Amino acid sequence: MEQKNTVAFDAVFTDVDGTLLDAEHRVIAASRPVIQKLTRMGVPFVLVSARMPEGLSTIQHEIGFEGPLVSYSGAYVLDARGHELLSKPIGIDEARDLKGFLDAELPDICCSEYGFHVWACDDDTDPRIMNEERITTLKALRAPLDEAFDERGVHKFLLMGAPGQIAEAQRKIARAYPGLTAVRSSETLCEVMRGDVTKSEGVRLLCDNLGVDIGRAVAFGDGCNDVDMLRAVPNSYAMANAPKEVKRSAARVTQLTNDENGLAFELLSLMESA
């Protein structure tokens, strides 16, 4: 391990899609040596995403590092050994009720469910599911909710559809289920989780677990579901490709976009200025 404390930060927390990855959801080759250097120095590099754990571990393996994970936007947090530190699932009864509501009220929306290490859907031949499989390199389980999940519940519902359909879904869920949060992660995606789930809670929990002062952490994000994390970490960066409201939530904005490897560029600048 290389000597630690030669950089001005002690941990990095980053969103994945739109931040670490390019627009095609691919790892940028030039980012690998930067991340590997940090982890060799003992600086944790933590993926914070709405993805399931398996959708994050594949990225870790591709880049070549290990570390804790904040999955399902903070609903399921694991340490570097894969041990559970936090789990906030939607109760199975409420999950059943929500699934029935979505099927009845929003039949054109593509709905799939995630819990712990399972991703389930009604129709794995739906092009939207197949596209998500391509992006994440994972395979959805074709199974009813009651067969795929037990009494522990469901961490996340992923809704996919046209922008107007997703906006309508967000409005209807907010009215019908005030205890849940429906967050648009893009124009065509909406993620539904427990109302008390936040990325920032996962970041704070891991800072405590790792013995890192949050004031010595760095955070990167590009989406509306990153706003609370960017506000919680004093040294935060919104990506240059982020919407204006996200940029206003961060301390700084990267000089380059995700496609231009903006995250690695800023990390290198911080490392060189130490």
Owner of token pair 């903006």: 262
**3-state SS record for 14-68:** ECHHHHHECCCCCECCCHHHHHHHHHHCCCCEEEECCCCHHHHHHHHHHHCCCCC
Average pLDDT over the chain reads 95
- pLDDT at 274 (0 to 100): 58
Q: Is the pLDDT of residue 1 over 90?
A: no
- For the chain, the domains span 11-87+197-273, 92-194
Q: Is the pLDDT of residue 110 over 70?
A: yes
Give the tens place of pLDDT for each residue, 249-273.
999 999 999 999 999 999 999 988 7
Q: 11-87+197-273 has which CATH code?
A: 3.40.50.1000
Q: How confident is the model at residue 8 (pLDDT cuts 50, 70, 90)?
A: confident
- pLDDT at 272 (0 to 100): 83
How far is residue 239's CA from residue 237's CA, in Å, rounded to a whole number?
Answer: 6
Owner of token pair 């289920």: 177
Specify the CATH number for 92-194; select among 3.40.50.300, 1.25.10.10, 3.30.1300.10, 3.30.1240.10. 3.30.1240.10
Give the tens place of pLDDT for each residue, 205-226.
999 999 999 999 999 999 989 9
Q: Is the pLDDT of residue 69 over 60?
A: yes
